[in-house]
Amino acid sequence: MKVAVIGTGYVGLTTAVSLAMKGHDVLGIDLVEAKIVQLQQGKSPIYEPGLEEALGELLKSGTLKFTTQIADAWEAEILFICVGTPESADGTADLRYVFAAVSAVESLHRKAPRDRAVVMKSTVPVGTGDRIAELLREIDGLHVVSNPEFLREGNALKDALQPTRIVIGTDHQDAADAMEKLYQGVSATRVSTTRANAELIKYASNAFLATRISFMNELARLSGELGTDIVTVAHGMGLDSRIGPEFLRAGVGYGGSCFPKDTIALLQLANQHGISLTILDKVREVNTKQPTWFLEQLRKQMDDVAGKRIAVLGLAFKPETDDIREAPSLKVLEALQKDGASIVAYDPIAVDIVRPLFPKVEYTDNPVEAFIGADAALLITEWKECVQLDWEEIKASMAAPLLFDGRNAWPAKQLKDAGFHYTGVGRS
């Protein structure tokens, strides 16, 4: 099928690449000319495993192209809208880019009319798809579909190619048939529903996953006081088929482009309708305070961090991505700087993005070097480069063997046996 993807950010680029890999002719569209030039050269503006390699192959085959002109999409049967919906000052989703894209689609369609599905991939408040459908109601041939994404950063391309489910929200059979044709051959459960249901499925999914994380982080605080081990507790919980093992790992909190933004957007939506989502309010409160709680564990063992050399391992909000949006590392760096610590930081991908935000921090391109002369080391992101280490060499290089594991990813027993003072999140 002929497909156009408006917006070449994290969701848009992954969507475009995955659909081209499935054999569709895909055109990626973005107003930022520098980004389009970069993509045309086969260079991905985001880091995602396997994405740039696939991008290069698809450009060579001609199944994927990029442009700044939406007029070039005149042949498209399906138009995906994958633009950003950033958080406004009041926490609601900013839909300016969405409606600008809709306006561009309308202009294209008037010049080159044909039956088209206008597919909303961007995460938008419930009711947005219906608003767009009402705006386009009198334009023959345009049918609005909600088709939310469920991509995990660091696994996005795999998730796009092998989705756990495909949610299609529309009230028009031709559009539903076009989406089924688009996803033909993809083995995933289909959920055919209304646009509003599809939009709420997306928000509810992210809110529930965020809830699991914050619940475990709060339980980890209790575990630390009781002398129990949250890793063992989580394992025992996860064996219950009603619960499952995913998103039960305690740590320094969630970040990224989805959970923080989507939870507050859902809270604002509920408030607008006079509904109080008290559990979700608490989820955000726990997540906001988790990095502060983690640093309190450091201060308990180091009365004063001023002038002390602190190694911070991992800056991206999770492994296998360069995304630092709402990353716990930013709160940690800010707090340590305020306390007067001397910070050395490592991340295999995200250093160049963080450096302008914290120019006084020392950065290294080798994780082992971060430990040299350190009075304490903090694991914030569990990159394999930060976890799979020669601990004998590291112990010999540190000024003091203090380790604070913000992801419960370091080998606790091995480190304690080796003479480190190890502190995890809610670990005995």
Which residues, including other chains, have CB under 8 Å from residue 152's CB and lie 6 or more apart?
159
> In DSSP terms, which residues pair with 80 in a beta bridge?
5, 119
The span from the CA of 106 to the CA of 138, in Å, is 11
Residue 91 has what pLDDT? 86
Tens of pLDDT, residue by residue over 22-67, are 999 999 999 999 999 999 999 999 999 999 999 999 999 999 999 9
Domain range summary for the chain, segments of one domain joined by +: 2-192, 206-423
Name the residue among 307, 298, 277 with its Cα closest to residue 406: 298
Helices (H) and strands (E) in the chain, counts: 17, 14
Tens of pLDDT, residue by residue over 99-148, are 999 999 999 999 999 999 999 999 999 999 999 999 999 899 999 999 99
Residue 307 has what pLDDT? 95
Do 84 and 77 meet the contact criterion of CB atoms below 8 Å apart? no
Helix (H) or strand (E) holding 362: strand 362-364
Residue 65 has what pLDDT? 98
State in Å, rounded, how far the first CA of the chain is from the last one: 56
Residue 303 scores a pLDDT above 90: no
Average pLDDT over residues 155-162: 96
User: How many CB atoms sit inside 10 A of residue 13's CB?
Assistant: 28
DSSP string, 112-154: S---EEEEE-S---TTHHHHHHHHTTTSTTEEEEE----PPTT
User: How many CB atoms sit inside 10 A of residue 15's CB?
Assistant: 26
- Give the CATH number of domain 206-423: 3.40.50.720
The span from the CA of 14 to the CA of 51, in Å, is 7
Residue 89 has what pLDDT? 87
The span from the CA of 347 to the CA of 399, in Å, is 21
Residue 428 scores a pLDDT above 80: no
**What DSSP character marks residue 422?**
E
- Active site members: 258
> If DSSP codes are grouped into helix, strand and coil, which group holds residue 190?
strand
Name the residue among 428, 424, 49, 48 with its Cα closest to residue 249: 424
- For residue 249, give Cα distances in angstroms to 231, 244, 261, 322: 7, 12, 21, 21
Tens of pLDDT, residue by residue over 355-383, are 999 999 999 999 999 999 999 999 999 99
The pTM of the whole model exceeds 0.85? yes
> If DSSP codes are grouped into helix, strand and coil, which group holds residue 165?
strand
Percent of the chain scored above 90 by pLDDT? 96
Residue 84 scores a pLDDT above 80: yes
Tens of pLDDT, residue by residue over 213-266, are 999 999 999 999 999 999 999 999 999 999 999 999 999 999 998 899 999 999
Average pLDDT over residues 381-395: 96
The span from the CA of 379 to the CA of 7, in Å, is 34
Q: 271 is written with which tokens?
A: 């408030």
Amino acid identity at 206:
N
- Give the CATH number of domain 2-192: 3.40.50.720
Tens of pLDDT, residue by residue over 403-416, are 999 999 999 999 99
Do 343 and 295 meet the contact criterion of CB atoms below 8 Å apart? no
Residue 90 has what pLDDT? 87
User: How many CB atoms sit inside 10 A of residue 368's CB?
Assistant: 14
Which residues, including other chains, have CB under 8 Å from residue 158's CB and lie 6 or more apart?
50
Asked, colleague to colleague, whether 2-192 and 206-423 share their fold, the answer is yes
Residue 80 has what pLDDT? 98
| Average pLDDT score, the chain | 96
User: How many CB atoms sit inside 10 A of residue 40's CB?
Assistant: 13
